[in-house]
Chain A
Amino acid sequence: MLAHVLGVTFDGFAYGMLLFVLSVGLSVTMGLMGFVNLAHTAFAMLGGYLCVTFMERLGVPFLATLPLIFLATGALSLVFERVLYRRLYRAGELDQVLLTIGLVLMSVAACSYFWGTEQQPVTLPKYLSGYFSPGGVDLGVYRLFLSAVGIALALVLVFGLERTRFGAQVRAAVDNQRMARGLGIDVNRVFAATFAVGSGLAGLGGALAVNMIGLDPNFATKYLVFVLLVVSVGGLGSVGGTFAAAVVLGISDVAGKYYVPEAGAFIIYAVMVTLLLWRPAGLFGRRS
């Protein structure tokens, strides 16, 4: 019994790590620029499809695809940022929501055109499949890998934000953009770089996700709501908040599906609505 609960908790934690990788980029860029980028999961979807293409068509080993996808998605997002997003920084939420929804629709159509509408199969390398069973608790190897990636990423990001000069500039711009500009920080460049990293992470998350939650052209819209949930509950601009929210949501979702399947998505959305009414900026959000 206990083994089962531990197993479910671990599954939820791994799912939470995946959500964390998918969401952290959005949380930081929204905290930094206030730009509602609903196309974030479209970048993730693209990352997933790139992974499938690299592995199946070009025979690149799985672990090698990950940094490639990170760089490719990051670079592509810079193009979008310069051509499209930059014009709407001062526009209201509605315009940003609609522009990015338009991009999502186009990406869904493009992906189904190029890759078809079926689920994409991906063959994992042998060392990442199977189970590791200490003390009778079944821990999937891939999920262990995901958890390790998530925790490592969180540590790298926190270190990057707290200890590097660039991280200090990011934090300054999140806290008070006008003041940061006044101090001579090139906020536009900081934002472009952060946006690239964030979208790159989304692409990375998409590549990691193919094996755990599948990939089809509806990925962008299906997981957009989850990512928004994580970001709004965790608080914009907070890596720790996103981590906490992702873990909580991941575990609640998986545990809910196992133990209370009748409740469905009810619990999560009810919890989210209540939380947002209590703390509109999220649990760890900076703006009041």
Chain B
Amino acid sequence: MSADPQTIDPQRLIAEPLRWRWGEVVFWLTLLLPYWLAPTYLSLASQIAIAALFALSLDLILGYAGIISLGHAAFFGVGAYTAAVLVLRAHWLEPFSGLVISGLAAAVLGWLTSFLIVRVSKLALLMVTLGVGVLLAEAANRLSWLTGGNDGLHEIDVWPLLGRFTFDLYGRTAFFYALAVLFLMFLGARRLIQSPFGLSLRGLRENMRRMPALGAPIRHRQRVIYTIAAFYAGVAGALLTQTTQSVALEAVSFQRSAEILIMLVLGGTGRLYGGIVGAILFLVARDQLADMNPQYWFFWLGGLLVLVVLFLPGGIVGSVDRFWRWIARRR
């Protein structure tokens, strides 16, 4: 902080980030533009919104609690398959409650695995999260009577939203649905981050040894945020199932976990908007470049990753932030 310590007002410190900046309002309004500017790309736009929510869930544990997970798609997959099973087996066709139930299913898994996660760190943490992700992918593969195995599950049709909006071929309903869910969950995350709990998480991330001295229990806090992040990921997975009317094994694959990590890092961790920006960038680029030649895509993605790690710490949002601060200092 560059401010003089004596002039920091604790109340302002807590209240200020809660206020909406005009830049944020503009950002969310521009997210509505694809409906008019790119009507043929609305299904891609829905996928971006879903990925953004998923990336946001990863940011909660990675950016704010410092837990690196290589298996986060486990929760996404659980949410996706729960939403499918709800419709196909339990005949529960109401979409919004379907999202919540799927999210809760993922949250239960998150809570259970959180006991394992908080006991390890560094390489062991990477391996345990990877292992949990792979185990779940294997389970999804084996339980093909439930998950459809390699073929996946199809024709998952929920009731029209609010009784009126059906999922149309152009993806208009899907787009607004995904965007609305993303926005609502984002509001929740924003409030959570700025709350005292969120502040304590940042304290944990910055200096884990100091926090217990202040009376903050480390493992309990980590478990809570891990469960919440699992809920978010589960909702994102359920959203995917409901908007695409299908679910497949790739929802729980290691590729998904790796992709979302890359998206988040490109956008910038620890800043709530990083996941959204990263998802937009990654998926638009992949849509444009991977069709031409999948090898080019891998190469440039890898190169971009290397450059971001070396020269753009904090990803795109972090760099933009630094740029603004540099300009502000110049004035």
Contact = CB atoms under 8 A, between A and B. Distances in A.
Interface string B243-282: 0000000000010001001100100010000000000000
B309 A265 contact: no
Specify the main secondary structure of chain B where it touches its partner.
helix
Interface stretch (B40-48, B77-85, B300-308): B300-308
B135 A98 contact: no
B298 A276 contact: no
B116 interface: yes
A225 interface: yes
Contacts of A231: 123
Contact of B124 (A104, A112, A232): A232
A77 to B, nearest CB: 16
A229 B127 contact: yes
A269 interface: yes
A272 B127 contact: yes
A269 B130 CA distance: 9
A262 B139 CA distance: 11
Interface in A187-230: 225, 228-229
Interface in B68-97: 68
Given A265-B138, A280-B120, A225 B305 contact: no
A270 B135 contact: yes
Q: For B121, B131, B262, B296, which residue has the most chain A Cβ atoms within 10 angstroms?
A: B131
A181 to B, nearest CB: 21
Contacts of B298: 105-106, 108-109
Contacts of B308: 98
On chain B, which size bracket covers the interface? 35 or more
B225 interface: no
What 5 pairs across the A-B complex have the smallest Cβ distances? A105-B302, A102-B305, A109-B299, A106-B302, A109-B298
Interface string B220-253: 0000000000000000000000000000000000
A99 B309 contact: yes
Interface string A220-260: 00000100110110001000000000000000000000000
Interface stretch (A1-9, A47-55, A88-96, A139-147): A88-96
A98 B134 CA distance: 19
A36 B126 contact: yes
Contacts of B301: 102, 105
B43 to A, nearest CB: 26
Contact of A103 (B269, B296, B302): B302
Given A93-B68, A106-B302, A265-B138, A280 B310 contact: no
A280 B68 CA distance: 16
Interface string B127-145: 1101110110011011000
Q: For A113, A272, A273, which residue has the most chain B Cβ atoms within 10 angstroms?
A: A273
Q: For B68, B122, B123, B298, which residue has the most chain A Cβ atoms within 10 angstroms?
A: B123
B295 interface: yes
B126 A273 contact: no
B138 A269 contact: yes
Nearest to B301: A105
A95 B131 CA distance: 21
A110 interface: yes
Contact of A109 (B302, B305, B306): B302
A37 to B, nearest CB: 11
Nearest to A228: B127
Interface in B6-31: none
B82 to A, nearest CB: 21
Contacts of A269: 131, 134-135, 138
Nearest to A273: B131
A277 interface: yes
B119 A101 contact: no
A84 interface: yes
B62 interface: yes
A231 B138 CA distance: 22
B288 to A, nearest CB: 17
A264 B62 CA distance: 30
Q: For A36, A93, A105, A112, which residue has the most chain B Cβ atoms within 10 angstroms?
A: A105
A61 B305 CA distance: 39
Nearest to B296: A109
A104 B262 CA distance: 13
Given A269-B131, A276-B124, A103 B119 contact: no
Nearest to A117: B295
B124 to A, nearest CB: 4
Contacts of B309: 88, 95, 98-99, 102
Contacts of A99: 305-306, 309-310
A107 B308 CA distance: 18
Given A105-B301, A273-B128, A277-B120, 18 more contacts: A84-B306, A84-B310, A93-B122, A94-B62, A94-B68, A98-B265, A101-B302, A103-B306, A105-B298, A108-B298, A109-B297, A109-B299, A228-B126, A231-B123, A232-B127, A264-B142, A266-B135, A270-B131
